Copies of this chain bind each other. A is one copy, B any other.
Amino acid sequence: MNNREVMLKALTGIKLVEPGDDLGAITVEAFATNGVQPRTGDVLVVAQKVVSKAEGRYVEVAWVEPSERAITLAAKLGKDPRFVEIVLGESKRVVRHRPGLLIVEHRLGFVMANAGIDHSNVSTADGAERVLLLPCDPDASARALRDHIARNCGVLIGVIISDSFGRPWRKGTVGIALGAAGLPAVIDMRGRPDLFGRELRVTETGFADEIAAAAGLLMGQAAEALPMVLVRGLVWSAPEAPAAALVRPAEHDLFR
């Protein structure tokens, strides 16, 4: 099944999210102030950063005691050993490193720089330095937001928690799906015939990643100012799958 027209709309006027904020309530309010009536088939893409903030996923850097391993690695990287300690705490293992760059396998399987920990936009009133971890379970965050919208708006839409990832081989970051609910994050095309009745060569598409990349065009790098994008017009028939299904198992991977 294919879609003919898709519309993406950034929801505006969303306040800066703080720990303890009710992201569900903020979302429902954003729908109202933007004149959006969510419909079946809609997908809401939410920037990871506001989800992490609402979930209070901060770590105070000053409280961190770096391990020997973090101190050694930090010296090679030219990074703060406490920051490296926090990254290692969120990671299964280090995939690559060089001065200034630390690529790890996050505990959820994402291969990414710094375990996705952001320390560029984080500040506190008293000036203490803190960093923001990824949501504990982004698929669960997506499900919870989907349920909240269903209860309050009476419609089950798709929800994606998105982030920007760098890629090997290609420059520039693109949006990807860290979490997803209510849609097939991966679509398995195996066995489907192509136009000529032959079996398709490509067997899986990263549906939620393509949606997150599309939303990235509207969020830009200002994902805190424009943290939510509504996508309308997508059609799918594949069964639901969470964003965890987008993670290639390490044993099938040639680049770890």
Residues of chain B with a CB closer than 8 A to A211's CB: 217
* A171/B248 in contact, CB under 8 A: yes
Number of A interface residues at 8 Å Cβ cutoff, please give it: 75
* A173/B204 in contact, CB under 8 A: yes
Name, among A121, A220, A224, the residue most crowded by chain B CB atoms within 10 Å (CB to CB). A220
Segment among A53-61, A138-146, A192-200 that sits at the interface with chain B: A192-200
A77 in the interface, Cβ–Cβ < 8 Å?
Answer: no
A151 in the interface, Cβ–Cβ < 8 Å?
Answer: no
> Quick one: closest B residue to A198, CB to CB?
B120
Q: Pick from B10, B199, B206, B254: contact of A172, CB below 8 A.
A: B206
Q: Which residues of A contact B (CB under 8 A)?
A: 1-10, 12, 16, 96, 98, 101, 103, 110-111, 118-121, 123, 164, 167-176, 186-187, 189, 192, 194-196, 198-202, 204-207, 209-211, 213-214, 216-222, 224-226, 233-234, 245-248, 253-256
Given contacts A173-B204, A173-B206, 5 further A-B contacts (CB under 8 A): A8-B233, A123-B196, A171-B204, A172-B206, A174-B209
